[in-house]
Structure formats: C-alpha cells, structure tokens
Amino acid sequence: MTFKSSLLDRLASRQARISVVGLGYVGLPLAVEFAAAGFNVIGLDVNAEKVASLNRGESYIPDIPTERLKPLVESGRLCATTDYADLRQVDTINICVPTPLTKTKDPDMSYVINSVDEIAKICHEGMLIILESTTYPGTTQEVIVPRIAARGFNVGENVFVAFSPERIDPGNKVYQVHNTPKVVGGVTPACTEVAMALYSASIERTVPVSDPTTAEMVKLLENTFRAVNIGLVNEMALMCDKLGIDAWEVITAAATKPFGFMPFYPGPGLGGHCIPVDPHYLSWKLKTLNYNARFIELASEINTSMPIYVVSKVTEGLNDEGKAVRGSRIVVLGVAYKRDVDDVRESPALDIIGLLEQKGADVRYHDPYVPSIRLEDHRHMDGVQYTDALLHEADCVVIVTDHSTYDWQHVVNHSRLIVDTRHSTHRVNGSARVVSL
C-alpha cells in the first residue's frame, strides 16, 4: 500500500489524526469542523491562555460558541497544546498562523517560517501539510517544500504538501467553514487528492486548482478585488463631498442597475487582517519581478487616508459649533474593524483616536465587544460605559463601527453633533446635527 492510499483510507475511516497550528479566528473554527466531522484533533498555539481556554472547553472566538466547543473537548475529539512534540503522531497539519506586514509594508513571514521549521523536525512519512495563511504567490514552493525536502522527504510520494486559502469572514452568520467552498492546490496531483479528501470530510465543496501558487493567487485576487473597489468608492465619497453630492444616494441609485454594477460602500478605512494586508503581499512579490501593482498602491493610499478625512469632518463639525478640536470631548462608538465582532486588527478607529488625541481632543470610546484597546504608541485605553450622560457630555460623537446593538435613535436623541462614517443614522430623525462621509 502506498503512503497516499494509506492516508486516504485513514481519512475516509476518520482514523486519521488531525492537527491545526494557530488557534485564532481561522484555526479554531477549522479545528472545530474537523472534530465535528468525527476526527480526533489536536490544536497548537504559542498562546498558553488560548490553549488552556480550549482545553477547558471555553471558546474565545465569537463565531464558535462555547456550547459547540465544550462537547467536542469533553468527548476527547479536540484538545490543544503549546508543544510541537505533541504533533509527532498526527497525520495532517493545517498551518493557520498570522502573516502580518512590517512597518514598511513588507511581508512578515516569521510565523510561517517558524512553524514550518518546527513541523519539519517532527515530519514523518505519510504526513499531509497544508498552509492556509494568506501569503505571496510562491510561498508554498519556496518556503515549505525546501524545508521538508531537506529532511529527506519526497513531496508527493511519502509526504504531501498543499495550499488552501482560508476564507473566514468573522461574524458572518450565513457562510462559515462548512459551507464556504475550499480552494485546494497541491504541489503534485497526489498532494491535491489527499488534501481534498481531508477537506471533503467536513466542508461541502472543494475546488481543486493546478498548483499551490494558483491557490495563493486566488486568495490575493479575492481580497485585492475588495480593497480596490473599496478604494474606488472611498474616492467617490471624497469627490461627492467636493461636489456637494450625497455619495450614499448615488450608490443606492446605482445599485438599482440589475447588471454590470456591484455596490461597495465608503467608510472610515479598512480593517481586519485580510483586506488591508493581503494585497501588499501581492504588490511586494511583483516588485521583486520589477512590476509596480499600481491599482493596489493607489487603493491603499486612498483607504489609509480615510481616518484623516474622518478627523477633518470632526474638525469641520466642531468649527461650525464654534469649538476647536483641542479640549473637546469626543466619543467614538465602535472600535472593532467591522460590525458585531471583537477584532480590532488594523481597525481605522485606532488611527482616528490617535489623530484626535494628537490634536488635543479628550477622546473616550465605547464598544460592546472590545473592553480595551492598545494604541499605536503602545498605550492601553479602556472603554467607557454607554450611558445617556456619555452622549450628552460629548462635543462630538463619531460612529466608526455600526454594531447592531446600538440604538441609533437613542444616539441621535442624546447627542449634539455626530460624525457618521457608516450611514447608520440616515433613517433617524432627532435633535443632533449629523455629518456623514
């Protein structure tokens, strides 16, 4: 029996031992799906608090209720560790570690490289290794394969390597791991086959592509598409402001066209780990080939400037009230990067707060999901309690994240000046003066 057929048999019978490295917003939901499909799963994370929480059956990810996690832990289907040595006997490893940018917007591959180096030490014949972390085209072939081959393995024969981009959308109640199609690109056809067998056990549809580099590019196209279109609509908002036109009315009317148009909406800037970050991986890779990804660079320039535009709106609004930003009390509602999540990675709220403080404002924030934040200067800021007085005493309320828990009628009734970056209050009448993007 070949290593491929043996692994396929173990996957089909649910006897294969599964592992997921990186137990964050991507890794934990994936580990839970594998365990729910009948596999024994061991997760690994360098964060001992996450590991301890998982082993108690307590979820720390909003998309995974503790009520779903706890039975899997109690049944022995799912556990976690901080030690790579505990993965020596597993059959498959999915790598779901962060791939951030450096300050110069270059890829920071240290998490992936460290993980692969540790995995190479415990790799054995018949093992399947899949990278899910978003990265530049060529990573699987250039980073993973050489490190595994250096251990004497023949990829595609006695060890299998593939790339399958994560498609997690935190807070999405409709599309989650099990019903979001999974793109899979193996180093060899055999690698693709065994990777698809793993995912097919818990995910409704798998989509094979010719190789890992193609799969890596698929993810970058998805998020570059969104970043560029958001950049376009943000610039539309800037242009409409110059022309004295309501950008939201323009977009709403354009969206009535039943073909050839897809609505995107302006906002305070991009947030989250994917859209603000992933296109730069592609741009960086193309620079090594003497190609300038102009759309990506321009979209990034526009999107990253939106917090400055929001602060200018606050300044204008206060000026109209005869007040300066310096000394004004400003309340920011919502600091998560998107509605109904607790994720503040790359959130534009952090930049908005920092810029307002630089201008001398007294800034407070409230977010029902985020009790404290860490600002760019490494200071911690605690959220404040949401009360009538919080709104009454604010010289300006800035809506940055439109959490569904907020009562916008209440906000408008109890505020004097609102800068609404999410078009949340457009259907609400009240005494507050509202300034929209």
Question: And the tokens for 414?
Answer: 């109890």
Question: And the tokens for 230?
Answer: 């958001």
- Tell me which amino acid residue 66 is: T
Q: Are 3 and 126 in contact (CB under 8 A)?
A: yes
Contacts with 258 (C-beta within 8 Å, 6 or more apart), sequence order: none
Q: Are 80 and 105 in contact (CB under 8 A)?
A: no
CA angle 62, 167, 260 (to 5 degrees): 115
- Count other C-beta atoms under 10 Å from residue 184's C-beta: 27
Q: With the CA atoms of 285, 288, 290 and 293 taken in that order, what torsion angle do they form, in degrees rounded to the nearest 10? A: 20
Q: Which residues pair with 100 in a beta bridge?
A: none
Assign 17 to helix, strand or coil.
strand
Active-site annotation holder among 96, 123, 274, 396: 274
Rg (CA), the chain: 24
DSSP H helices, 184-293, are: 189-200, 212-243, 247-254, 278-287
CA angle 154, 159, 164 (to 5 degrees): 120
* 79 included as an active-site residue: no
Residue 362 zone, left/alpha/beta (φ > 0; ψ -120 to 50; rest): beta
DSSP secondary structure code for residue 108 in this structure: -
Active site residues: 274
